[in-house]
Amino acid sequence: MSLARAEAEWGELMRAAIAGDGAAYRRLLASLTPALRAVVRRNCGRIGLDPGEAEDVVQETLLAIHLKRDTWEPDRPIAPWIMTIARNKLIDARRRRGKATVVPIEDFADLLSAKGANEDHDRLDVERMIAQLGERDQNLVRALAIEGRSVRETAATLDMSEGAVRVALHRAIKRLASAFRGEKS
Amino acid sequence: MKTDALIDLLVADLEPSRLRFRASLRLELACGGAAAGLILLFVLHLRPDLGAQLASPRLWLKLATMLTLTAASLGLVWRLATPGAEAKPWLWALGLAPFILGLGVLAEALATPASSWPARLVGHNAFSCVTLIPLLSAAPLACLLHVLRRGAPADPGLAGAAAGLLASGVGATLYALHCTDDSPFFVAAWYSVTIAIVTLVGYVAGRRRLRW
């Protein structure tokens, strides 16, 4: 797949997602993840981060793409936007290790040679971050993410309204993002 | 948690189109600017000789400097808070405001006798300049810092400083319609100091509040 085509496809999916199309959003994130994983792994090695940390950076990047998606303007190219977020998250990860930070990220074109990197490194760190959430939020996150239930089913299971589930979910996602930054919130 | 599970979570959290960040930025800046405008009109009041001074090149120089600063820092703030946007040209554009003011200082030095310079520099309202510009900048700065929480600045301190610069550009533009000291000497001395203070406040607030 050429860079231009990948970018056009991601931009198209993001535009659909902004309009509320969940299926398009899932395809976008699923298609971005292996590409991000490959470029993050390669750069982790080059800047002296443990390769096991790569998956954390990938997840943190996905969280940031989600929470900051309003900063992408549909009339602008999406690849530099994504890469800059990934780069910032690599810099953050490296800073947390107490190292000085200049991270030259390799050309975005590298992303496209990266289709192989699909296996998932499951890190205990992330479980620990979920453990920082309150009990209700933990149940909610597990029901939605790990048991794969819908918002409606989760609402019924936890005896909450769908609106309350959505609000709690959004807050839990923000807490996950700040847990990655090492903040309490 | 597997990354696939995280994706499930993010998809479940998708809400259809809220306002884009760029539009929110403009909206909040307009709100902050409107609040500062009301303070100018109903608390501080326009200068009484504003009509008579509309022909004065000094007033226009003052306004041109502050409007240039406002425009350049608006372009800068948005780009600093948007991943992948190129901010460098706008850092350069910031230099335009001091350049215009510098030309004004030069013209003033050529047009007036040296014996009048100290009086022009000190003016009549230095203290109110240093206090009222921050007052007029407060609402725009609060709005900008609020909207920037939704942005994604690579350097939170720098983005906060640019927000301070933009807020003080708005505040100083409005204050220029209140203050009767029009000499470029006065503007170069007192407006600059005050703008630097508001910018510093923005920098500190940005470092503390704009990490993401």
In a domain, B5, yes or no: no
In a domain, B186, yes or no: yes
The count of domains in chain B is: 1
> Which of A71, A86, A121 represents a domain boundary (last residue)?
A121
Tell whether A163 and A94 lie within a shared domain. Answer: no
> Which 3-state string (H, E, C) describes chain B?
CCHHHHHHHHHHCCCCCCCCHHHHHHHHHHHHHHHHHHHHHHHHCCCCCHHHHCCCHHHHHHHHHHHHHHHHHHHHHHHHCCCCCCCHHHHHHHCHHHHHHHHHHHHHHHHCCHHHHHHHHHCCCHHHHHHHHHHHHHHHHHHHHHHHCCCCCCCHHHHHHHHHHHHHHHHHHHHCCCCCCCCHHHHHHHHHHHHHHHHHHHHHHHHHHCCC
Rounded mean pLDDT, B132-153: 97
The count of domains in chain A is: 2
* Residue with token string 């990354």: B3
Residue B125: name the closest of B162, B168, B178, B68 by CA: B178
> Which of A121, A141, A171 represents a domain boundary (last residue)?
A121
Tell whether A69 and A25 lie within a shared domain. Answer: yes
Residue B212: name the closest of A139, A119, A15, A70 by CA: A70
Tell whether A7 and A97 lie within a shared domain. Answer: yes
Tell whether A48 and A18 lie within a shared domain. Answer: yes
Contact list, B208 vs chain A (CB under 8 Å): none
Asked whether the predicted pLDDT for residue A100 surpasses 80, the reply is no
The lowest-confidence range among A5-19, A88-102, B62-76 is A88-102
In a domain, B9, yes or no: no
Residues of B (102-141) whose Cβ lies below 8 Å from A: none
Kindly give, in sequence order, each residue whose CB lies less than 8 Å from that of residue B5, ignoring residues fewer than 6 positions away: A145, A146
**The pLDDT value given to residue A185:** 45
Q: Looking at the predicted complex, does its ipTM rise above 0.90?
A: no
pLDDT digits (tens, 9 = 90+) for B143-174: 999 999 999 999 999 999 999 999 999 999 99
Tell whether A46 and A81 lie within a shared domain. Answer: yes
In a domain, A185, yes or no: no
pLDDT digits (tens, 9 = 90+) for B88-109: 999 999 999 999 999 999 999 9
Q: What's A99's domain CATH number? A: 1.10.1740
Range of the domain at B192: 17-209
> Which of A105, A121, A137 represents a domain boundary (last residue)?
A121
Tell whether A154 and A110 lie within a shared domain. Answer: no
In this structure, what token pair is assigned to residue B8? 């499930």
Tell whether A100 and A153 lie within a shared domain. Answer: no
Kindly give, in sequence order, each residue whose CB lies less than 8 Å from that of residue A125, ignoring residues fewer than 6 positions away: A56
CB A86, CB B37: distance < 8 Å: no
Q: How far is A50 from chain B (nearest CA, A)?
A: 18
Range of the domain at A47: 3-121
In a domain, B10, yes or no: no
Tell whether A87 and A109 lie within a shared domain. Answer: yes
A121 or B124, higher pLDDT: B124
Tell whether A65 and A146 lie within a shared domain. Answer: no
Chain A residue with Cα closest to B154: A88
Residue B71: name the closest of B170, B184, B194, B192 by CA: B170
In this structure, what token pair is assigned to residue B198? 């508001």
Contact between chains at B10 and A85 (C-beta distance less than 8 A): no
* Residue with token string 């009484």: B48
In a domain, B199, yes or no: yes
In a domain, B32, yes or no: yes
Contact list, A59 vs chain B (CB under 8 Å): 1, 3, 6
Instruction: Indicate the SS3 state at residue A54.
Output: helix
B12 vs A: CB within 8 A: yes
In a domain, A29, yes or no: yes
pLDDT digits (tens, 9 = 90+) for A31-59: 999 999 988 988 888 887 887 788 889 99
**The pLDDT value given to residue A123:** 52
Kindly give, in sequence order, each residue whose CB lies less than 8 Å from that of residue A123, ignoring residues fewer than 6 positions away: A52, A53, A55, A56
In a domain, B202, yes or no: yes
Residues of B (53-82) whose Cβ lies below 8 Å from A: 81-82
Nearest to B9 among A58, A145, A181 (CB): A145
Residue A81: name the closest of A26, A20, A11, A30 by CA: A11
In a domain, A162, yes or no: yes
Tell whether A142 and A105 lie within a shared domain. Answer: no
CB B125, CB B181: distance < 8 Å: yes
Mean of pLDDT over chain A: 82
Tell whether A102 and A25 lie within a shared domain. Answer: yes
* Residue with token string 């920082």: A132
Contact between chains at B6 and A145 (C-beta distance less than 8 A): yes
Tell whether A112 and A159 lie within a shared domain. Answer: no
Rounded mean pLDDT, A137-156: 84
Contact list, B19 vs chain A (CB under 8 Å): 70
**The pLDDT value given to residue A68:** 95
